Amino acid sequence: MFPKASRNGDLGRIVAAARSVSLRLVSRLLILLFGLAFSLGSPAAVAAHAELLLASPAPGTGLAQAPAAVVIKFSEPLNLTLSRIQVLDASGIDVGQGPTLEVPGDAEAMRRPLGLLPTGPYVVRWTSVSSLDGHTLQGSYSFAVGTAASPETTIADSPLDSEGPIGLVGRFAALVALGAWLASGLLRGVSVRAGLDPSKTARLGRAAPAIAFGGTIVSLLSAAFVATGSLAAIGGVLASPSGEARVVVLATSAIGVLVGARWRAVTILLAAAAILADAASGHAASSALPAVGMISVSVHLGAVGVWSYAIAASLLAAPDLRRALGTFTPYAVAAGVVVAGTGIVNAILELANPADLVETGYGLVLLAKSAAFVAMASLGLLHFLWRRRPRVPEAVVRRPLRVEAVVATVALVLATLLVGFPNPPREAGATADELTTTDPVLAELGDRDALSVADASGPFVVGLTILPPKPGSAEIRVQVLGVDPGDGLRNARVTGSSGSATVDVPLEGACGLGCFTGDASFAAAGDWRLEVQIDSNRGPISIAETVPLPTPDGSLALSRALTAQEGLKSALMTERLSGSVGGPTYDTTFRFQAPDKAEFSLKDSTTIFIGPTRYERTGSGPWQSSPPAPPGFTWPTGYYREFWGAMAAPRLLGAETVDGVPTQVIAFLRPDVPAWFRIWVGVADGLVRREDMRAEGHIMDHDYSDLNGPITVTPPK
C-alpha cells in the first residue's frame, strides 16, 4: 500500500498528463486537418496530365492552322449531360461550333467542333463528370494558331473542386449517419448490456437514416451545381450509374425512416444495402476489381461505424463509463482490426504504387487518416489500461476517450475528403505518355534519314514515312490524323509497285492513336507508287503517293527557296481550305507587301495588317482596329520560317511544270503540329509557285502569282 499523499500525487500526475496529452493531440490533429483541407482546396498548375489521357490539339501546341475539333479523352466513362468543352479566344469568347458531342464508340471521350479560327492563342476549358463515381473534374490548357502557345495546364482536382464545400458537408453527414445506422442495429443488444437507455438507441435508429437521406440529397444537388452552375441539372446527375446507386441510398434511407427501429434485422439489412450502394457510387466502382472494392469499402465503413458508435455511446449515453467500456471494447477492437485490414485492401486497389502515398494529395490524406486510426487505437489502449485500475477516477478515464472521439471525427472528415477526390492514383494511372496523339518518331525526323509525305482521305489526313527512303529494307510508319478514339482503325497495310517490283506490307505494329508500323523491302530503285489502305468505323481510308527511291535530299533546295521567299517585295496568294475531302471549301485571297503589310479577303470579311495594327471589317460595316498577336505581323521576313517550322526531312520528289514554269517538288514535315508540306519551287529563281499543306482538319492549297508585282496595301480610310 502507498501512503495517501503518494497516491494523490500519482493521480495528480496522471490527470495532468492526460490533460496535456489531450490538448496536444487535439490541437495537432486539428492543425493537420485544416492544413490538408487548405492545401488540397485550390487547383495547381501541372506539367503533365494524370486524369486526362489524350487531348487533341495537345496542350501547349502551336498549330499552322486551326484544328477541326477539340477532342479530349479521360480515364473513365463520361456523363455527357454534364461534361462540356469550351474553346475561348483572346477576348474570352467561346468559338466552338454547337454543343459538346460524344465520340462514337468511346464513352471516355468528348469532342467540340470548331470553325475556321484566325491566328492567335486559344484556351480550352473542360469539365468532365464521371458516370462511374459522379466526380467532377475541371481543367484548362492552351493551344495557338500561327503563334506560340502557353505550356501551362491546370487541373482543379481537389475534393473542394469536385464536390463543393456544401457537397462535402453532405457527404460527411451521410457517411457518419450510415455507419451509425448500421452500428445501432448490430450493437442493439450490446448497448442494453452496456447500460444504455433503449429509447436513445431507438431514436438514433430513426435519426440516422434521415440524416443519411438529407446528406445524400445535399451532395447530389451540390454535384449538379459544381458541374453546370445550375441545380436544374440534377436529372443528369441521377441518370448516371453513380447517380442511380445514390438513388438506392435515398430509397433505403427513406424506408429506414419509415420503419424506424422496430425490427433489428430489417434495420441491419437496410443500412447494409445503403452502405453498399454508397460504395458503388464512388471510387470502388471504377477500381481494378470493382466487386472486391465495393465489398471492401462497405465493410470498412461499417467497421468504422461500429468503432465510432462504441466510443460515442460510452462517452455520451452510458451512465456507467467503466461498464460501457468493458462491454463495448471487444467489439471496438474487432472493428479496429477490420478497419485496418480493409484499409490495406482499399489502398492496394486505389494506389498505383507505394510512392503515391507521399507524392499525391490522395495519398497524403490516406496517410493522415491512417495516422488518425493509429491514434484512436493508442488512445483506446490508454483508457483500457486506466479503466482496469480502480484507483484511476472515471474523469481521468474519460479524457482519452474524449480525445479518441475527436480523432474519430477527424478520421471521418479525412474519409470524406478521400471520397471527394475525383481520381485516386490508380484510376489516373494512364498518362499522356502512354497514349500519344501522334507517332513519336515524327519529332525525330530532323535527325533521321527519312521521307515523310501525306494526303487526305475523307475526314482523315494520312502521313506515310519511310526510313530510309531507298531500295532495300526500310521501316514504314503511317500516322492517321483526325482520328476519334472510337473510329476503330484496323487492317492497315501499304502496297506498292515500281515496274515489275512489288511490295505488300501489313502494318501490325502500333505506335499511338492512329499510328501503325511495319517492315518493307524495296527490291529496286525507281519511282514507286505506294498506296496506304486502312479500315475504320467511318469507312475505308486510302491515299496514294508516287515517290522516287532513293529520294534525293532536299535541304539545299529548301534553303534556297526560303532565301528567295524572304527576298520578295510583294505577292498575290490564293488559298483553298477545307476540313475534309468533299467538305465545304473556303477561298481566301491574300495580297502581301513587304515588310509588314497584308490584306486578305474571305467571303464578305476583310482583314488588313499594317505593321502593329490589324483592321477588320465584315461586309460594308465599320472598320475595327486592334493589335495583332505578338510579336506583330511581318512579311516575308519571319513569315515562312514560322509557318514552315522546323522543316524536317526535306526531300526532292521530282520535277513538274506550274503555269508554264519548270519547278522542283520538295516535301518536308513540320513535326510539332504535325503538318506535311509540299512546295513547287521555280528552278530558275527559287520562288514558290504552289504550296500544299496537310494537317488535322486542314487540306490547304496555295497558288502564288504576281511575284514582285505592283501590289500596294494601304490602311482603310
Q: How far apart are CA 694 and CA 32, in angstroms?
A: 55
- pLDDT beyond 70 at 7: no
Q: How far apart are CA 363 and CA 68, in angstroms?
A: 39
Mean pLDDT lowest for which of 26-40, 179-193, 472-486? 26-40
Hey, which of 289-293, 469-473, 580-584 has the most confident mean pLDDT?
469-473
Cis amide linkage into residue 595, ω under 30° from 0: yes
- Average pLDDT over every residue of 648-673: 94
Confidence of residue 26 (pLDDT cuts 50, 70, 90): very low
Confidence of residue 471 (pLDDT cuts 50, 70, 90): very high
pLDDT at residue 571 in the model: 97
Label residues 351-374 b or e (16+ Cβ within 10 Å = b). bbeeebbeebbbbbbbebbbbbbe
Q: How far apart are CA 343 and CA 364, in angstroms?
A: 14
More confidently predicted of 555 and 259: 555
All structural domains of the chain: 4-39+161-420 (1.20.1630), 44-157 (2.60.40.1220), 440-549 (2.60.40.1930), 555-705 (2.50.20.20)
Q: How far is CA 90 from the centre of its chain?
A: 23
State which amino acid sits at residue 576. R
- Average pLDDT over every residue of 122-128: 89
Return the C-alpha cell found at 280: 458503388
More confidently predicted of 648 and 376: 648
pLDDT at residue 146 in the model: 65
What are the C-alpha distances in Å from 527 to residues 393, 456, 473?
Answer: 100, 21, 16
- pLDDT beyond 50 at 28: no
Q: Is 383 helix (H, G, I), strand (E, B) or coil?
A: helix
- Average pLDDT over every residue of 186-198: 85
State which amino acid sits at residue 185. G
Cis amide linkage into residue 674, ω under 30° from 0: yes
What is the enclosing helix (H) or strand (E) of 137? strand 136-145
- Average pLDDT over every residue of 256-264: 84
pLDDT at residue 520 in the model: 96
Average pLDDT, the chain: 82
pLDDT at residue 423 in the model: 54
What is the enclosing helix (H) or strand (E) of 573? strand 570-578
Q: Is 195 helix (H, G, I), strand (E, B) or coil?
A: coil
- pLDDT beyond 50 at 47: no
Burial class (CB in 10 A: 0-12, 13-18, 19+), 259: middle
Confidence of residue 10 (pLDDT cuts 50, 70, 90): very low
Mean pLDDT lowest for which of 45-54, 77-86, 337-346, 519-528? 45-54
More confidently predicted of 484 and 354: 354
Report the DSSP beta bridge partners of residue 677.
668, 693
Q: Is 153 helix (H, G, I), strand (E, B) or coil?
A: strand
Return the C-alpha cell found at 112: 467540340
pLDDT at residue 200 in the model: 79
Hey, which of 236-245, 301-310, 489-498 has the most confident mean pLDDT?
489-498
Residue among 362, 393, 503, 419 nearest 173 (CA): 419
pLDDT at residue 202 in the model: 82
User: 10 Å Cβ neighbour count for 4?
Assistant: 8
